[in-house]
Structure 1
């Protein structure tokens, strides 16, 4: 298997960006679900478990990107931000 340090940057950035986009969409969608559960007054244990799971998934996603170096981590971060924008625009119908 190829080590991530030797991947060409033209392959590395899109993979990290797409992975970060999926990660961001999952993270912010679960954040939205957590907020809805809090507003509806559901069990606090479920809310806390969902919050911990959300943070663990985000940390694991960035941990996977660490071997790619700074460029890969920045690509992943850009993807997370893009995933956030996707969820926000879908929720409130915001147009650019």
Structure 2
């Protein structure tokens, strides 16, 4: 869940595509999800790109803040608990 916390803090995110939260990173356009199977070269490339392109990091950070402001990321734990306990409206 720390990826959602990073997004809400406006931080760029690099993650593996198999991470359950990777789709949030891609939906928000606030970082990269590295394709599987994992290749160290792919991680190196995206990390170098992120470290050497301040405008890219700034865009990712702005996109993360915008996504956090416009999407309901804060009630996900409660929604998960409701699904588990069967306490859903409707």
Q: Which gives a bigger RCO, structure 1 or 2 (Cα 8 Å, sep 6+)?
A: 1
The structure with the greater share of residues assigned to helix is 1
TM-score by length of 1: 0.29
TM-score by length of 2: 0.30
